[in-house]
Amino acid sequence: MKYSVIIPVYNRLDEVEDLLASLSRQTFKDFEVVIVEDGSTAPCKDAVDRYADKVTVKYFMKPNEGRSIARNYGLERAAGDYFIFFDSDCVIPEQYFEKLDKALEKHPVDCFGGPDAAHESFSDTQKAINYSMTSFLTTGGIRGGKVSLEKFTPRTFNMGFSRKVYDNVGGFREMFSEDIDMSTRIKNAGYSIALIREAYVYHKRRIDFKKFFRQVHVFGMSRITLKLLYPGSMKLVHWLPAIAVVGGVTLIALALTVSPWFWLPLALYLIAVWVTALLSTRSAKIATLAIPAAIIQLGGYGTGFIKAYVSKIILGKGRDINEEIMIRKGK
């Protein structure tokens, strides 16, 4: 078996159904799927059984311990030469494995990842959130964009590495941003990492702005944990959302108390977001929804970053004991 697809699942029955359907249509067939049910109260076993004759699939049920431990559980039971990780809310284009295999045959690497995109069937809000998560104007292109302020870092919505990497680096740690931690450990161990642009996935992401805010707020907080683990890992691009929050609040205060001209920089930025989203999605409605999505993207991440920076670095609290315990798991 060349590839093992490892997917941790927690109460994601409908998502697993869509994911397995897309995997059953792959033009390249030399892969298995390892589903690890992490203590779900609504198991996806019936969906797995429906696709058992269409795709090679292994199903495991275990107590709830977290997605990283579930991934490691799957790693221990996978047979492939390479391990591929998707989130359960992904849909995989039919030629994904065919394109991935050709790319690895041409340019072998130890660890790889691909970008994500919005499928035409996704809701307008999901498409707006996808724009916000992938646009240079909001994330600096760090998730596999053509223009980027940071070197590409594979993330577990679309990530893979060889068995050799796993044997030497080990599995995932149970922590927020565990995929960035894993990619950093792989890089620090001297293994090659590459972006394979043609091996993209459709990523449903959060379906509403409230859930999206909670997600990116945690991302911002976890960036400080990563800084504590890897002191040299913090880059300018990671500071930008926090700078945007402070700058935005300052401009609003000045616009309300000094001069309305201070609204201009904010207006120009939001116009730029609308125009680029319109060009990207060809939809005025999605472009309009991209404006609150961008504000939430920057505001959620920025406030999480500031909160954790003040608590853990300025006040010197560092990692609390619960984080220490989580970080040790999976070593």
Contact 31, 59 (CB under 8 A): no
- In this prediction, residue 175 carries a pLDDT of 86
Helix (H) or strand (E) holding 82: strand 82-86
- The pLDDT tens digits for 250-277 are 999 999 999 999 999 999 999 999 999 9
Looking at residues 229-239, what average pLDDT do you find?
86
Partners of 158 in beta bridges: 86
Contact 329, 174 (CB under 8 A): yes
Q: Is 183 exposed, middle or buried (0-12, 13-18, 19+ CB in 10 A)?
A: buried
- pTM score, whole prediction: 0.85
- Cα 75-77-82 angle, rounded to 5 deg: 50
- In this prediction, residue 177 carries a pLDDT of 86
- In this prediction, residue 149 carries a pLDDT of 45
- The pLDDT tens digits for 271-316 are 999 999 999 999 999 999 999 999 999 999 999 999 999 998 888 8
- The pLDDT tens digits for 81-102 are 999 999 999 999 999 999 999 9
321 or 40, greater pLDDT:
40
Helix (H) or strand (E) holding 160: strand 158-162
- The pLDDT tens digits for 115-163 are 988 888 889 999 999 899 888 888 766 554 554 445 778 999 999 999 9
Contacts of 194 (CB under 8 A, 6+ apart): 107, 109, 111, 112, 152
Q: Residue with structure tokens 């060889």?
A: 162
CA nearest neighbour of 17 among 160, 154, 204, 161? 204
Strands 82-86 and 201-203: unpaired
- The pLDDT tens digits for 46-76 are 999 999 999 999 999 999 999 999 999 999 9
CA nearest neighbour of 111 among 159, 181, 169, 180? 159
- In this prediction, residue 146 carries a pLDDT of 53
Looking at residues 27-37, what average pLDDT do you find?
96
32 alpha-carbon distance from chain centroid? 22
- In this prediction, residue 315 carries a pLDDT of 86
196 or 237, greater pLDDT:
196
301 or 234, greater pLDDT:
301
d(CA 286, CA 129): 9
- The pLDDT tens digits for 200-224 are 999 886 678 998 999 999 999 999 9
Contacts of 160 (CB under 8 A, 6+ apart): 3, 82, 83, 84, 85, 100, 111, 112, 113, 154
- In this prediction, residue 277 carries a pLDDT of 95
Confidence of residue 326 (pLDDT cuts 50, 70, 90): very low
- In this prediction, residue 189 carries a pLDDT of 96
- In this prediction, residue 231 carries a pLDDT of 85
